[in-house]
Amino acid sequence: MKKCRLSLEITHWVTPELDLDLTCAFSYDTSDPLAVTLELDTGGPRPVRWVFCRQLLADGMTARSGEGSVVLWPLLDADDERFSSFCVRVGAGDRTALFEIPVEPVGRWLARTWAMVPRGTELDGVDWDELVQLAD
């Protein structure tokens, strides 16, 4: 089992006019190869954690992706030529939070996770016969 972690400063958009700096961490563990965890340090007694698909994170850095409680989309920089950051909206209904995250460090971290478990090989070690027996 291997792990990969990235800590960085992000922006929490409380309202369109009010933003706060916030520390977050992305983590990846090869024992759960399809998922990434986003941990938000809210200053409270416990961090807030969201677990979602690693492919959703990769897709959301370049195109609107996801639905329901996790949605991601890229933001163009000032000259509209490249994606310098992306947004993550978590939650549902009137209980949502919006974060803006820089693309570059997350992209480098995500590349390290792909080196650990290449795209398309996440389920190679699954014992499907055992899972079928458990379902019976």
Task: Give the model's pLDDT for residue 125.
Answer: 74
Inform me whether the pLDDT recorded for 77 exceeds 80: no
CA distance 27 to 38: 7
Average pLDDT over the chain, rounded to an integer: 90
Domain that holds residue 74: 3-135
Closest CA to 102 of 125, 75, 78: 75
**In the block, residue with structure tokens 């792909």:** 114
With pLDDT > 70 as the criterion, what percentage of the chain qualifies? Answer: 97
CA distance 66 to 56: 7
Task: Give the model's pLDDT for residue 135.
Answer: 76
Q: In which region does residue 34 sit, left (phi positive, over 0), alpha (psi from -120 to 50) or beta (all else)?
A: alpha
Query: What is the count of structural domains for the chain?
Result: 1
Structure-model confidence comparison of residues 126 and 3, the more confident one: 3
Confidence grade of residue 100 (pLDDT, cut at 50, 70, 90): very high
